Amino acid sequence: MSGHHHHHGHGGHCCGHGEDGHDHSNDITPAIQSLLYSQIQFDSILTLNESVPKSGAAVVQKTWAERLNDLPELESDADEQLLMYIPFAGQVKLHSLLLYTAPTPSAPKTLKLFKNRADLDFNTASDLAPTQTIEVPQPQPGQDVFELPLNRAHWNTTTSITLFFEDNWSGGEEDVTKVGYVGFKGQFMALNREPISVLYEAAANPSDHVAIQGVEGVGGRINLGQ
């Protein structure tokens, strides 16, 4: 009966049985390695015109694995417009926006994006020129997340992004807009406050202590080159 432990039929890639034990993650790592999930300040997300408080933050807080879950879902309240302010923990370079909405006329259509603006309301968002405007495709049944590419040159030093969902696919007949998942791909950059020296000190300290064992009270200040 030997050789039958791969009963899931994954050709030997089931459950990390490979020599290095990393097989189980190969299929999902490329999709999520550049997600900026850990850099979003969830507590500071602000959504205007949401029908349920904190539901905007909730759809951003969904993990990649939960992206297609029905709930939580963000719904607009008084009309079809939504305005979401999402701050990051530092500077990021945004590459794309990930969006999932159920395939209904409530799916958003016109999406205007603003960079580093913590002060927008519906009036200013309607008047100001956005950093980028995206026409969101109409979702079809069985479809996964839309990955909407951003113009990278415009999103290099992003500390926050504001999403203005201006209308939906109902053509004005449906005044509720629904959003199921919001995510971001890109690169996180440490803030430019001497990151090199900080990283160097953190990396160098352990070896300093090894090199100067027995020297009391000098700490890491000794010049090892002498």
Structural domain boundaries of the chain? 28-189
Per-residue pLDDT tens digits of the chain, which is 226 residues long: 544 444 444 444 344 444 444 444 344 444 555 789 999 999 999 999 999 999 999 999 999 999 999 999 999 999 999 999 999 999 999 999 999 999 999 999 999 999 999 999 999 999 999 999 999 999 999 999 999 999 999 999 999 999 999 999 999 898 999 999 999 999 988 655 544 444 444 555 554 444 444 445 444 444 445 4
Residue 33 tokens, joined: 């390695």
* pTM exceeds 0.85 for this model: no
Calculated CA dihedral for residues 127, 176, 159, 68, nearest 10 degrees: -150
Beta carbons of 186 and 155 less than 8 angstroms apart: yes
Residue 195 tokens, joined: 């990151």
Task: Please name the helix (run of DSSP H) or strand (run of DSSP E) that holds residue 185, with its range, or none.
Answer: strand 181-189
Domain 28-189 CATH class label: mainly beta
How crowded is residue 44: how many other Cβ atoms within 10 Å of its Cβ?
14
